[in-house]
Chains A and B, each alone.
Chain A
């Protein structure tokens, strides 16, 4: 590989990184509920307009990343009159802790609400300890 090619590749990579950073900048931060019970942690995220095909859930080095693209059928040549929502992308990430079984994450999506369940590792789930009398 020549030096120019190397440079070109480096340039391409850096522009891709920049694009990703820009996306992260403009993306909506979806509103979430996060709660824990004895079985694990559940995350609910509002991502209106996102269908299953345009949703990505990723765990990389204990970081859970939730990303989605809202697809909206709009007539051609539409002129915006008012906008609360400026981006059709959603993106938010969360750091997970070691007692969570990241390989057993389950997710579902209904009417734009994403539900992610992260169970605790079986050996770490709290156990009731019976006290025997006598």
Chain B
């Protein structure tokens, strides 16, 4: 619960720093401290971000969601996804493990600066929420003709 409330996703740079921190645990010490907005490992839902020159894709690994509970918004290059994942305990049963996330969540993702907030599409399939954001044409690489 508190993990969600303090989950203000960091900028990509912070995330990179976090990646480096993880590498650090594997390969040795990294001299920089963790980004102050970097989130704890295991924050729900885990996500991946990938980019091509034309678009940015965000994949949220969120099984068993009701898409109606989802709230996705974008402000300039800051993408916010919140919702509720329900995985309550079944009454009258003995639980041995309860690892699946239950409750509201919220993640903020800083996208590259050149995304176009007017061109966003979201799909939910097999438990993965895919959000695709087009990048503005002005920033795409262009061939320059020599006259």
The residues of A with any CB-CB pair to B shorter than 8 Å are: 31-37, 42, 44, 46-51, 70-85, 110-113
Contact = CB atoms under 8 A, between A and B. Distances in A.
Given A82-B12, A112-B128, A32 B48 contact: no
B96 A35 contact: yes
Contact of B65 (A33, A44, A84, A111): A111
The list of the 9 closest CB pairs from A to B, nearest first, reads A112-B127, A112-B63, A48-B127, A84-B46, A113-B64, A35-B93, A31-B99, A78-B50, A48-B63
A72 to B, nearest CB: 6
Contacts, number: 124
A111 B48 contact: no
B59 interface: yes
A50 B100 CA distance: 17
A36 B96 contact: yes
Given A72-B59, A111-B126, A112-B128, A46 B93 contact: no
B95 A33 contact: yes
Interface string B90-115: 10111111111100000001001000
- Which of A34, A42, A80, A112 counts the most chain B CB atoms within 10 A? A112
A44 B124 CA distance: 20
Contacts of B94: 35-37
Nearest to B124: A111
B52 interface: yes
A111 B45 CA distance: 14
18 contacts: A33-B89, A33-B95, A34-B95, A35-B94, A48-B128, A50-B127, A70-B128, A74-B50, A79-B50, A81-B15, A81-B49, A82-B15, A83-B49, A110-B64, A111-B126, A112-B62, A112-B64, A113-B63
By CB atoms of chain B within 10 A, which of A32, A50, A82 has the most?
A82
Nearest to A113: B64
A21 B94 CA distance: 33
Given A34-B97, A35-B90, A37-B93, A48 B52 contact: no
Interface in B51-79: 51-52, 54-57, 59, 61-65
B47 interface: yes
B114 to A, nearest CB: 13
Contact of A32 (B12, B64, B100): B100
B97 A33 contact: yes
A81 B50 contact: yes
B75 to A, nearest CB: 19
Nearest to A109: B126
A128 to B, nearest CB: 15
A74 to B, nearest CB: 7
